[in-house]
């Protein structure tokens, strides 16, 4: 308690320093500091540095500001090392949160050649260590700061953009896997830290870029069949996808249709407990009168739709005119999540304007040929 009082007093004195006061004033954040509470003041100061840097237009001024910012934090990875090796969860949470604030609010600054080495050290030391069990709670609470900041830095870096994008993909895949439950759970997935990092009330280009990275990572690592065997935790991955769409209002068709190849493949390959088969033709994916536009096999509308009713064809033989695709009725959790996800995509703009350019029927036919 005495230490806390001393820290608050030190914070109050720091706020009176002309340079600190000037930064807060230039960033328009002076009024937000009402109490000398160390954690909140630290966050406001870090945010102020980022705002001031972002407002500079002259290259020499930006370079000078980047140097000053690095001087403010010094060799931060050295300073936080004792907290990383200790078993104090409170210390770990504070460290991950504080550095996460820097990664998020200084993301344009950390993309510069002068500061990107620090960003590399942060990623290697905090996000990609061999063992993360001890940091589980700290990572869960602060991961969104790192993913949001890394995404911006990767898009702005001129010299190391490709490397940063690869690092972002590695971090995304690692924690998608780490926090994804073995079986679908609404409570767990709704609070998945990777999902929370991508949620926005109003879509922005920066948020959309991160969601694209997450979708790519999910499709490449969690929706790929090996032969006929479904990927592990497929139902959980599909629930994650449906939550990601439901909690964002993206309207960019190229983003929304990105998972469709993998999802249609899942639709063709997934098995139900009874192994019942249904026949679906490529023509069934087209809306009558729409000029051959591809639509969701689950109908139209905004809510979940029933699965297509089986066609009565007598035999499963194929003719040259009619490529019937045998689809196992997906009535388990996995297919239910797939159904919900595709229903989210089923709107006029996406399916009528964009999806007709996606070779859905060809994809389905190729999958059926693989199964034969």
What is the maximum span of the chain, computed from C-alpha positions, in angstroms? 85
pLDDT score of 138 more than 60: yes
- The residue whose two tokens read 């001024």 is 61
pTM: 0.75
- What pLDDT, on the 0 to 100 scale, is given for residue 312? 38
pLDDT score of 75 more than 60: yes
Most confident stretch, 29-38, 146-155, 176-185? 146-155
- What pLDDT, on the 0 to 100 scale, is given for residue 260? 87
Judge whether 171 lies within some domain: yes
Strand partners, 279: 326
Q: How many CB atoms lie within 10 A of CB 245?
A: 19
Q: Which two tokens stand for residue 194?
A: 């990777």
pLDDT score of 308 more than 80: no
Q: Are 284 and 307 in contact (CB under 8 A)?
A: no
pLDDT score of 174 more than 50: yes
Q: Dihedral (C-alpha) 330, 335, 341, 343: value to the nearest 10 degrees?
A: 30
- What pLDDT, on the 0 to 100 scale, is given for residue 4? 86
Q: Which two tokens stand for residue 180?
A: 């994804």
Q: Which two tokens stand for residue 182?
A: 């073995």
- What pLDDT, on the 0 to 100 scale, is given for residue 343? 55
**What percentage of residues in the chain have a pLDDT greater than 70?**
73
* Cα–Cα–Cα angle for 333, 232, 127, rounded to 5 degrees: 115
Q: At what angle do helices 161-179 and 205-222 cross, to 10 degrees?
A: 60
- What pLDDT, on the 0 to 100 scale, is given for residue 340? 53
pLDDT score of 309 more than 50: no
Q: Which two tokens stand for residue 310?
A: 């089986």
CA atoms of 215 and 210, how far apart (whole Å) = 9
Q: What contacts 323, CB < 8 A, 6 or more positions away?
A: 281, 282, 361, 365, 368
Question: Half-sphere exposure (CA, 13 Å, Cβ side) for 336?
Answer: 6
pLDDT in tens, 210-259: 999 999 999 999 998 887 788 889 999 999 998 998 898 888 888 888 88
What is residue 347's DSSP assignment?
S
Read off the pLDDT band of 31 (50, 70, 90). confident
Q: Which two tokens stand for residue 81?
A: 């090392």
Judge whether 239 lies within some domain: yes
Q: What contacts 161, CB < 8 A, 6 or more positions away?
A: 154, 155
pLDDT score of 273 more than 80: no
Q: How far is CA 32 from CA 25, 97, 106, 153, in A?
A: 10, 19, 19, 26
Nearest to 344 by CA among 270, 198, 269, 246: 246
pLDDT score of 349 more than 60: no
Lowest mean pLDDT among 113-122, 208-217, 243-252, 356-365: 356-365
- Domain housing 217: 110-251
Read off the pLDDT band of 290 (50, 70, 90). very low
- What pLDDT, on the 0 to 100 scale, is given for residue 287? 37
Judge whether 172 lies within some domain: yes
Q: How many CB atoms lie within 10 A of CB 290?
A: 13
- What pLDDT, on the 0 to 100 scale, is given for residue 265? 84
Question: Half-sphere exposure (CA, 13 Å, Cβ side) for 86?
Answer: 13
CA atoms of 102 and 81, how far apart (whole Å) = 17
* Cα–Cα–Cα angle for 13, 16, 19, rounded to 5 degrees: 120
Judge whether 204 lies within some domain: yes
Terminal CA-CA length for the chain: 71
Mean of the per-residue pLDDT values for the chain? 77
CA atoms of 262 and 221, how far apart (whole Å) = 11
- What pLDDT, on the 0 to 100 scale, is given for residue 362? 46
Residue 327's SS3 state is strand
- The residue whose two tokens read 């990105």 is 258
Judge whether 322 lies within some domain: no
Q: Are 164 and 150 in contact (CB under 8 A)?
A: yes
Q: Which has more confidence, 168 or 228? A: 168
Q: What contacts 307, CB < 8 A, 6 or more positions away?
A: 278, 297, 298, 329, 330, 331, 335, 339
CA atoms of 237 and 225, how far apart (whole Å) = 13
Judge whether 364 lies within some domain: no
Q: Which has more confidence, 95 or 348? A: 95
Judge whether 307 lies within some domain: no
- What pLDDT, on the 0 to 100 scale, is given for residue 256? 86
Q: Which has more confidence, 362 or 242? A: 242
Lowest mean pLDDT among 120-129, 272-281, 330-339: 272-281
- What pLDDT, on the 0 to 100 scale, is given for residue 1? 76
Q: Which two tokens stand for residue 273?
A: 């407990």
- What pLDDT, on the 0 to 100 scale, is given for residue 121? 96
pLDDT in tens, 34-61: 788 899 999 999 999 999 999 999 999 9
Domain count, the chain: 1
CA atoms of 308 and 282, how far apart (whole Å) = 13
Judge whether 151 lies within some domain: yes
- What pLDDT, on the 0 to 100 scale, is given for residue 271? 59
What is residue 248's DSSP assignment?
-
């Amino acid at each position: 308690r005495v230490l806390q009082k001393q820290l608050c007093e030190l914070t109050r004195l720091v706020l009176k320093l002309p340079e600190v006061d000037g930064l807060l004033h230039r960033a328009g954040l002076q009024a937000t500091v009402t109490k000398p509470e160390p954690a909140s003041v630290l966050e406001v100061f870090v945010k102020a540095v980022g705002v001031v840097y972002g407002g500079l237009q002259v290259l020499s001024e930006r370079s000078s500001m980047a140097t000053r910012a690095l001087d403010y934090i010094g060799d931060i990875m050295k300073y936080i090392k004792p907290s990383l090796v200790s078993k104090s969860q409170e210390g770990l949470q504070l460290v991950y949160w504080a550095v996460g604030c820097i990664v998020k609010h200084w993301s344009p600054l950390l993309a510069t050649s002068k500061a990107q080495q620090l960003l590399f050290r942060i990623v290697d030391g905090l996000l990609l260590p061999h063992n993360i069990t001890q940091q589980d709670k700290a990572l869960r609470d602060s991961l969104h700061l790192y993913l949001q900041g890394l995404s911006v830095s990767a898009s702005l870096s001129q010299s190391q953009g490709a490397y940063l994008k690869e690092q972002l993909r590695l971090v995304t895949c690692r924690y998608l896997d780490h926090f994804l439950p073995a079986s679908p759970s609404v409570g767990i997935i709704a609070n998945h830290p990777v999902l929370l990092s991508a949620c926005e009330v109003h879509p922005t280009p920066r948020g959309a870029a991160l969601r694209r990275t997450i979708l790519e990572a999910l499709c490449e690592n969690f929706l790929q069949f090996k032969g006929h065997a479904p990927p592990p935790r497929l139902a959980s991955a599909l629930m994650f996808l449906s939550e990601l769409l439901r909690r964002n209002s993206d309207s960019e068709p190229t983003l929304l249709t990105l998972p469709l190849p993998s999802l249609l493949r899942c639709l063709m390959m997934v098995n139900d407990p009874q192994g019942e088969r249904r026949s679906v033709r490529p023509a069934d994916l087209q809306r009558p009168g729409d000029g051959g536009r591809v639509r969701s096999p689950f109908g139209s509308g905004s809510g979940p739709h029933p699965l297509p009713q089986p066609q009565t064809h007598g035999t499963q033989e194929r003719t040259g005119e009619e490529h019937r695709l045998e689809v196992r009725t997906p009535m388990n959790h996995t297919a239910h999540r797939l159904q919900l996800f595709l229903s989210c995509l089923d709107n006029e703009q996406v399916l009528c304007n964009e999806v007709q350019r996606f070779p859905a029927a060809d994809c389905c036919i190729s999958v059926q040929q693989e199964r034969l």
